[in-house]
Amino acid sequence: MRTQIHTSPSTRLFNPCAIDAAATLARHAERRLVAARRIGDAPDVLAAIEAAFGRVVTQREAWLGEDAYTATLSAFKRDFGMSVLDSWDTLCHWPLSRATQVLHYLNGRYAEALGRTPDAC
């Protein structure tokens, strides 16, 4: 009996899909390295936002009492288009470029709170 040796064609055929996939993966890796920074990536910015939020809450406690935090957070979520179910940590995932908008908003709410008195409610 004779043994027959089977030879198969080369497995290193040109596959354009594999090259495109490799190029796509490389592009995504570059984008991840150059990804936009987030508010949570900058602890000093996050601390400034939290301090501004705390100032607003403290100022509003004069006429809202214990509900000041809840009311301030609800207004913040509404004004920034967040879901009621979103937590405060959602802010950490926003782009760092949006931090100035958030601080400007909170400083405006603080200025409004300074102008109110408990008798005005």
Residue 18 lies in a domain: no
pLDDT digits (tens, 9 = 90+) for 57-87: 999 888 888 888 999 999 999 999 999 899 8
Amino acid at 55: R
Backbone angles phi, psi at 86, to 5 degrees: -65, 145
Model-level pTM? Answer: 0.66
**Domain count across the chain:** 1
Q: Report d(CA 45, CA 101) in Å as an integer.
A: 12
Residue 32 lies in a domain: no
Closest CA to 117 of 62, 61, 54: 62
Residue 82 lies in a domain: yes
**pLDDT at position 4, please?**
56
Q: Report d(CA 49, CA 39) in Å as an integer.
A: 9
Residue 10 lies in a domain: no
